[in-house]
Structures are given as structure tokens and as C-alpha cells.
Amino acid sequence: MIRRLRKMDPYPLFLCLMMTGMWLVLDMITGKSFLGPSPYNSYTLQALSWLHGHTWVENNEILELAIYEGRYYVSFPPLPSVILLPFAAVFGMKTPDNLLIKVYACTAVVFLYRALKNVSFRRADAALWSFLAVFSSSLLPLTLEGAVWYQAQALALMLATGAVYLMTVDRMTWALLLYALSVAARPFDAVLFIPLITVWIYINAKGGMTLREMAAKLVPGFALGLTVALAIGLYNYLRFHDPLEFGHNYLPEFSFQGGVQFSLSHIGNNAKTFIWGLPFDLIDGTFILKKFGFSFLIACPVLTLMIISFAVDLFRKRMDVLRLVTLCTFLVHFFLLLLHRTFGGYQFGARYCADLLPYAFLYRLLQKEKAKTPVWEWIFLGLGFAFSVYGSIVMHL
């Protein structure tokens, strides 16, 4: 037992303890409950409705609920309710939403740490980079409360990061399953398939695997992913008679109040805010943090590092297909997010851009020549983390 303990990697436990301490301090400052339920509990309502044998929920005026044929439905992809099902059976309306969202984020950090370690990063560097990359972003304030919007994002991030990690250990069946489940939480994650499969095929082709062998190895993962897609489509059809309809089009703001959920006309305002926007307004001589978003380049420093690294790789002529595909897919995903009317609404920074973090993680894994992180990057991420902590406190007080 002593020999086994000596061989154990202590860093995952260290990371979990560090995150727990961070959340306890932030919860103490903001008055949030570490374990408690969130009042924005759409997923709990949906889980309870399943336990009662139906898909519709009781109306709650503070929640975003779709109205279809006189009944109310949760208008978000349903996977988080699957996770909440056993908790709803035990705790009823008092599901531990605030704890679950922290578990999702914590697991994402551990997945990223293991992925970095698998591609030859020093353990200490991998641990610190994983922590800072995840929490020096718009994700940190989301983890203080398990509200319906935030649960889906944190769960999808965990699953997408897990898919990246499993790909690094050649567990592609399970990687594809986690990828498919991430889409069941955040549909735009579907485009992450492009860099994932490209990296895996490239690595295995370089290792001498034939196309036929690769196809055979991918079949189980594709089958599991298709099963997830069919289940989601069936659930949508049972509620809205459309396998592609999650319910957003039946929200009052889009169904009869005149709003348009996705449109090219939204790109201008979103770009102005979430690409070029500064984080503070000057009001009566005082700088006030903007509570409806600002540039993702400031809000999510690890995405900025990815873009800088891309430019440096081009300049130093070490660009390859895998990095190019990863960056281009990131841009496609970002463009899709810019089409949304609110880009996340009331938020610190650029909430939807938390969905883009797996691209930065994957790009970092592809930079084996940078296994040692430069000092300026540590400073950049450290300042980003400090700003995220500040924003988390201001947004929740």
C-alpha cells in the first residue's frame, strides 16, 4: 500500500483541494451556498416531471420556459436533467445544483491536467496551467451558482474536455461518446468533432494504421454517438413534434414578442461588444464593470493565447494541418455564437465564449515544442484569474 501511495499522482487531489478552497472563499464573500439549490432550477423541474411520467413542467415566471400547445417546457437541451434525475428523486426541489456545477468544472480541470501530462508536460506546469486556463475566464463566476444556463455550459465543458483527454490515450469510443453527450448539453459543440477526428486520424495514419483499421475502430464510438443523437431527437419530437426543436423558438420572446433567436443582423452588435468591447464604463468619474459583456480577448485569456500562438506559429513556419484545423473550427464556432441575439445576456465577460475553451486546450496539446510555459504567459493567465475573481465577486454582490 505504501508503494502504491508513493506511485500515486498527488496533483489531481491537490487541484481538487485548491478549487474547493477557492469556491469556499468566493461563496463566503458573495453569500452563495456551496451545496444548495439554485432558484433557476429548470433542469430540476424537468427531472421531477419525468419522475411523474410527463415532459411538461409547471410554470415559473422567473424561468425561461417554452410554451407549446398550452403547456410549459424546458427550452434547453435535456442532458443536465438526466444527471439530476437521481438527485431529484432523493432531494425533490432541493437538488444540490451549486455543488454539481463545481463538480463539472473540477472534473474538466483534472481531465485537462491528465491530457497535458500525457503529452509530456511537467506535472506541476500541467496542473497550474489547467487551473488557470479554466478559471481565468468567464466560466469562474458561473460555477458559483448551478442555474439552468450555467449548468449546461459547465457540463458541456467537462464532457468536451474529457473527449479531448480520452483522445490523447486513444480511447476513441469513449471520447466520441463524451463528445456526443456534450452536444446534448450545448448543440453548437457539434463542430468540435472536426478537430477531434482530424487529430486522431492524423496521429494514427502517421503511426501506420490503415483507413480500414481506423474505420473499424471508430464504429463503436459512432454508434454510441448516433444513439445519443437519436435519443435527443426523439425527446424533442415527443415535446414539439420536431426532432431538431429544443424549444427556444417557443419562448415568448421569440414566438410572439417579435425577437429573432439567430440572425446575421445580430453579428454587428455582438462583435462590437464581444470582440472590441472594453470591460468598464466611465460613469460620473468612476469606472463601473460592464454587466452585459465585453471582449472575449479580455474575458478568456487562454483564447487570446491561442490566437497569439497561432500567429507566432505562422511567423516561425511551424504551422501544420492540425493547428490550422483547430483554429479554423474555433472561428466557425465563434461565428455561430455571434449569431445569437444576446450572447448570454447578463454576464461577466463573454459567457458563451466559455464554450470555446476546449479549442484552446487542444491547441495547447498540439504545441509540444512549448511544453515549458513562458513566464509572460503565466503572468497573463494570473492577471486573467485575478480579474475573473474580481468579476465573480462584483457580479454576485
Q: For 280-329, how does the pLDDT look when each residue is reduced to its tens digit (9 = 90+)?
A: 988 887 888 998 899 999 999 999 999 999 999 999 888 899 999 999 99
Domains of the chain, residue spans = 2-396
Q: How long, in residues, is the chain? A: 397
pLDDT value at residue 255: 64
pLDDT value at residue 248: 82
Rounded to the nearest 5 percent, the helix, strand and coil shares of the chain are 65, 5, 30
**Spans of the chain, pLDDT less than 70:** 2, 5-6, 255-258, 369-371, 397
Q: What is the pTM of this model?
A: 0.94
Q: What is the spatial distance between Cα 379 and Cα 366, in angstroms, rounded to a whole number?
A: 22
Strand-pairing partners, residue 262, are 340
| Other CB atoms within 10 Å distance of the CB of residue 186 | 22
pLDDT value at residue 286: 84
pLDDT value at residue 285: 78
pLDDT value at residue 38: 93
Residue-wise pLDDT for 335-381, tens only, equals: 999 999 888 877 889 999 999 999 999 999 998 766 688 999 999 99
Helix (H) or strand (E) holding 288: strand 286-289
Q: Which of 14, 378, 54 is nearest to 235 (CA)?
A: 54
Q: Return the SS3 of 77.
A: coil
Q: Which long-range contacts (CB under 8 A, 24 or more apart) does 318-324 make?
A: 318/369, 320/366, 321/198, 321/202, 322/195, 322/198, 322/199, 322/202, 322/366, 323/363, 323/366, 323/367
pLDDT value at residue 92: 94
pLDDT value at residue 5: 60
Q: Please say whether the beta carbons of 335 and 352 come within 8 A.
A: no
pLDDT value at residue 184: 94
